[in-house]
Amino acid sequence: MALVDTKKMFEMAYKGGYAIGAFNVNNMEITQGIINAIGKEKAPLILQISRGAREYASISYLKAIIDVAVKENPDIPIVMHLDHGDTFDICKQCVDDGFSSVMVDASKHPFEENVKITSQVVEYAHDHGVVVEAELGRLGGIEEDVVGVSADEIKSHLTDPDQAVDFVEKTGVDSLAVAVGTSHGAYKFKTEPKLAFDVIEQISEKMPDYPLVMHGSSSVLKEFKDLINKYGGDMPDAMGVPEEAISKAAKMGICKVNIDTDLRMALTAKIRQVFAEQPAVFDPRKYLGPGREAIKEMVKRKLHVLGCAGKAAECK
């Protein structure tokens, strides 16, 4: 089947109390690892492309890889999504390039400016049959070109439920990324974070059936952190979002969960392991292959955490 948008996915996710995994892609091996897991678990899929990914690999290469994935998996609904487009021009370019979903992130601006930029993107994207995600509130951490707030400031930048209602009414945006205590990047928290489930609950009560999005939701899995450090890496102790918290949020109106750091860690951990245990290896296939397999197994696990395994057919 061709690329789809998120409308049916989010409708079913909200009704079923699960979330769709949105995984960032930067190259062929990462994409293949994700797709191989999706194919095994029969789950709907959102493949995200950030500005950093476009600068690294170019949209033409990434889109071609995704096009092949779509063609080879006709029973899996797949969305190609722009992650963190911070200007109208970037979002417009991606709509014109064939994305089926775009995110405009003007959350760094004052509320009214965020409304203005988001509304402009919504108008253009909807005219071209493309859905739009926006963000309200400020997440913590740093990921590629996305700069959030410090760990100490996270709680003071949570999304205001009443403001969320006002924002959605003024912009007509299709889904909303909310700040509920998550954080971008690998070095999220020194202690286990406490997500603001009350904020999710309040927004969901004020906007029944409206799809919410949770960014910065990698778990910084210990098994990969330990492998990276064992084989020459230097990742200090850090904690991500507990998987049980992600599962709980998925039952409360969070319909899309972004995962990027865990992909990077899985790939890096296995590559380091191969280099350390087999120093004579110089064939990229011999280390990228195990990295791809690690991504596959990690994504399979995440699909069950999210509750979307086996849900592909109902999301078409």
HSE of 61, CA atoms in CB hemisphere, 13 A: 12
* Catalytic annotation, pick one of 5, 67, 83, 174: 83
What is the Cα–Cα distance from 78 to 53, expressed in whole angstroms? 18
Q: How many CB atoms are located within 10 Å of the residue 155 CB?
A: 13
Q: Are 130 and 101 in contact (CB under 8 A)?
A: yes
Tokens 């990434």 appear where? 62
Q: How many CB atoms lie within 10 A of CB 57?
A: 17
Write the secondary structure of 102-117 as one string of H (helix), E (strand) and C (coil).
EEECCCCCCHHHHHHH
Is-catalytic flag, 83?
yes
Kindly tell me the sign of the dihedral angle through the C-alpha atoms of 213, 242, 37, 41: negative
CB distance 313 to 48 below 8 Å: no
HSE, CB side, 13 Å, CA atoms: give it for residue 81. Answer: 29
DSSP, res 241: -
Parallel, antiparallel, or unpaired: how do β-strands 142-143 and 146-147 relate?
antiparallel
Look at residues 221, 263, 262, 251 and name the one whose alpha carbon lies nearest to residue 239.
221
Tokens 């592909």 belong to which residue? 312
Half-sphere exposure in the Cβ direction for 256 (13 Å, CA): 34
How many residues are listed for the chain in this entry? 316
**What contacts 161, CB < 8 A, 6 or more positions away?**
199, 202, 203, 206
Provide CB contacts within 8 A for 268, sequence distance 6+: 224, 228, 233, 291
Q: Which residues are catalytic?
A: 83
